Structure 1
Amino acid sequence: MSTIDATMEDSGAVVRPKAQWKQLGPVEQEAAVHEEVKKMQRLPANSGYVSHRLRVLNKILQLLSIQRTTSQDHELELLFAGLSI
């Protein structure tokens, strides 16, 4: 078992089904993303997995903080779906 697998198991993360992201409000979505960022910061910084996931999480935070177009809303949904957090 890798360090990442062990850390993810120990984190007690709550995995939300993809359909529920639309039901969460922006505040709850942002809180979930910040929680995931904190988890990633506990993992080895030189991990390719961690650096990619942090880029995706930062993109999500950026999209959550702006007035989005329809295409940006779609991109945000795809990013959330790909994370499975």
Structure 2
Amino acid sequence: MDPSEGLLKGTNGGVDQPPKESGNQVVGRKAAWNRKGLEEKKAAVDEEISRMNKLPPNSTYAIHRLRVLNKILHLLSMQRTTSQEEELEMLFAGLSL
């Protein structure tokens, strides 16, 4: 199944929305993310950016997700403080990579 097929068309003017996840799924993804190395994390984010670039350019879902992905890349590329490390974990927790 293509990951882009997981998008749902809402009744709010056709704005794309990601599928809903349970708390256990988010915790599992966070644990998997923490086990990955830096290069694996960057590759996963780059792959997701490529996928988002295939969506319509006026998609508010794609625009927002690209902003989050770019923020993640920025935080991955620098030496982080504890608060920045927490922000990175929170940003990733909201994604399904």
- TM-score, structure 2 normalization: 0.72
Whose strand fraction is larger, Structure 1's or Structure 2's? 2
- The size of the alignment, in residue pairs, is 75
Considering only CA atoms, is the larger Rg found in Structure 1 or Structure 2?
2
1:44-59 maps to which residues of 2 (within 5 A)? 44-59=56-71
Offset, 1:25:
0.5
Whose helix fraction is larger, Structure 1's or Structure 2's? 1
Structure 2 unaligned spans of 5+: 7-27
Cα RMSD for the two superposed structures: 1.8
Aligned partners of 1:18 and 1:84 also within 8 Å: no
Structure 1 unaligned spans of 5+: 1-5, 11-15
Identity between Structure 1 and Structure 2 (%): 60
Structure 1: 4+ residue segments shifted above 4 A: none
Q: Distance in 2 between matches of 1:84 and 1:7?
A: 10
